[in-house]
Structure formats: structure tokens, C-alpha cells
Structure 1
């Protein structure tokens, strides 16, 4: 059975290259990779201009997972050709990206919104001509300096890494529920999640 209001394109944002792997700014890549690893048999490689993409079926719907390889501030250049080629509506696109306004261990699903200063989101909003598409924000915390390149391109500490790795699993579960049951149910279930808080013994 097809998902209720499911997305047809999931975009994970990050920067290409081994020097950026594991950095805070690559949270979108990390979630996309973990989702694909969990459903590896359901997806196959497909051509995508300016990006790395896989195509398959999930919850009865065709689904494309895209990682733009254009560097963050040109992400829209990789997203727009897929959107046009597949004749997608904005509501069928979900973008996953890092958010310094959320602490490590938290995430937020939203139906729409602005870029909040995120260059990858700015690029996609400009390319699509609208802010009205769903997004999943992954908390990376802050050192108090907004968009400090040294911070967002840095790596998680030991305690943060543990919370972040747990959050990646929860983010994949959120995507799965969104595809099966719609964004409203996924928001209610996963927006309260905080993997940085240990359950009481």
C-alpha cells in the first residue's frame, strides 16, 4: 500500500570528499547513507547531474535518495534537475540538513520554513522558487558563534558522537514512518526525541 503523503525525493545535504566525512555539516549525508544502508536491497544507482543518487521503492512508492556533490552552497543545482525530470511537487521533496539551533541529540521535522541561514537550504529554496517543502533538521549544537566554519566543519566529541549516532538511527525511523504514515504522524512521534538524555535506570 502506498504511503500517506509520502515523499518521492529525499535529499541529504553535505560536502563531498573524505576531508568532510564525519563533520557536523554532513549530517544530511549521514542520515541518507544510514537510510540506504538499512534498505540496501531496495535501491539501485541512478544517474543524477551534480549528485549521487539511488532509486527504488519504499512503502509502495517510487523513491529517490539524492546526495548533491556540488558542495553545500550549490545544492540547488543538483536538486532542480531531479525535480524537473520527475515532475515533483514541492510537497514531495524532503531535505535533510544540519541545524546549529538544535542541540546534539534533537531533530525536527517541519512541513516548510525558511533557510535559517543554512547555505544549502538557501540554494535549494532559490532553485525551487519556494520554501514550501518538508525538511528534517538534525541538531549539531553550537559553540555560540553562528555558522563558524571551524565549528560546523569540525567533528563531534566522544559524548556528542554517541548521542549523534543514536539520533541517526532515530532519524531513519522518522523517514520510514513518514513514508508509511505521513509527516504529521512522524512529527508527533519523533520531534520530541532527545538521544542525548539517557533513560533513568
Structure 2
């Protein structure tokens, strides 16, 4: 099934834009730029929206303005309005349990403690959507996680994240066309 909606999870505003938790927003910005899409605020979708064309397929790109913990409201409103099936949604988010400089694609699953995913699953009433998980590494101690995700990566980490965003961009056409297994093979062996 083709992907019709790509959502980046993050927190809106200048204070948050450099934080690791905004990896989903970073990917959407790179994606929209690459496919010459421009974001505009859409109050009915509680976010910023761009429409792009990937390999002949029209795709919506969404950055919710609801803050991470309420992302589902934005995603649900857009999916309902355009009658997009849950399985046609790709949610891009930061992932603590994946090494920095690595990205993985998966279908379905739990939220793994990620509040943006938790709210998305609740709002959509389903966990059966695709995820592009951008590895940001782990601080090593569970008690340091909240502080870790709400701070900017250092210079060497930024380089690794930029590389993985580029690698992810290289497989997005396959993902959108529904060739997810092929995209996984490519991305997971990079």
C-alpha cells in the first residue's frame, strides 16, 4: 500500500528546533526541500503542511504544532479529512533505542515509551502505521532521558544525524511506492 501521509514528530518553536526530540521535523524539512515543497500553517490540521510529489505519487507532509505529547490530534484530523488509511501513514520520530547515525523502518508495534507515538496510537485507534525511526542514541541512564531528548546534539552527532537523514531520503521513494521491504534492506545495511 502506498504512503499518502508522512508525519514528523517534534515540538514547534525556536526553543525546540535544535533538540534531538525534533528528528522527525528535521527529516520532514529535508524531504520538503528535496522535493521542492513549502510548508504552510493549516489550523484545521493543527500543524504545518506541505504537498510534494514523490515518483508520481502525491504525498502530504505534516509537522504537528500540538507539541509532541498531543501529536495524534493533528495526525488524526488530517487522516480523517483526506480519508487516509492508517496503513498509508509514515511517522518519522527520534528513537533512543537505536544507535546514533542509524535509521530503521518498521510497521506497527508499541510506543516504546515515546509520548508522540503513544498519543498517535491513541488518536488513530491503531498502531498499524509505518515508522521511520531516527536513532539519536541513549544517555545511558533512564533518569537522564527527558533532559537528553530536549537538548541539541553536539557537532559530531549532528554530522551523523545529517548522514542518516540523507540515507533515509534515499529510500523514501521505495517506501512511498509500498516497496518497504526493499527500503528496509537498503537502509538497514547502510
**Shared fold by TM > 0.5?**
yes
Higher mean C-alpha deviation, range 140-149 or range 108-117: 140-149
Work out which of the residue numbers 129, 140, 160 in structure 2 matches 1:144: 140
Shift of 1:43: 5.7
The answer (yes or no) to whether the contact 2:39–2:48 under 8 Å persists in 1 is no
Q: Deviations over 1:69-112 (max 9, x none)?
A: 10000000100011111111111000000000011101110011
The answer (yes or no) to whether the contact 1:46–1:54 under 8 Å persists in 2 is no
Work out which of the residue numbers 8, 18, 26 in structure 2 matches 1:12: 8
Which residue is 1:172 aligned to? 169
Q: Structure 2: 5+ residue runs without aligned partners? A: none
Q: Deviations over 1:122-158 (max 9, x none)?
A: 0000001111111000000011123622100111122
DSSP 3-state at the match of 2:172: helix
TM-score normalised over the length of structure 1: 0.88
The answer (yes or no) to whether the contact 1:6–1:183 under 8 Å persists in 2 is no
DSSP 3-state at the match of 2:32: helix
Matched residue pairs, number? 188
1:43–1:159 CA distance, 2 compared to 1 (3 A): closer
Higher mean C-alpha deviation, range 47-56 or range 6-15: 47-56
Separation (CA, whole Å) in 1 of partners of 2:41 and 2:35: 16
Matches within 5 A, 1:117-128: 117-128=113-124
Separation (CA, whole Å) in 1 of partners of 2:49 and 2:179: 23
Q: Structure 1: 5+ residue runs without aligned partners? A: 194-201
Separation (CA, whole Å) in 1 of partners of 2:165 and 2:62: 17
Separation (CA, whole Å) in 2 of partners of 1:57 and 1:168: 19
DSSP 3-state at the match of 2:15: helix
Q: Which structure has the larger Rg?
A: 1
TM-score normalised over the length of structure 2: 0.93
1:178–1:83 CA distance, 2 compared to 1 (3 A): same
DSSP 3-state at the match of 2:112: coil
Do residues 30 (structure 1) and 26 (structure 2) align?
yes
DSSP 3-state at the match of 2:22: helix
Shift of 1:46: 7.1
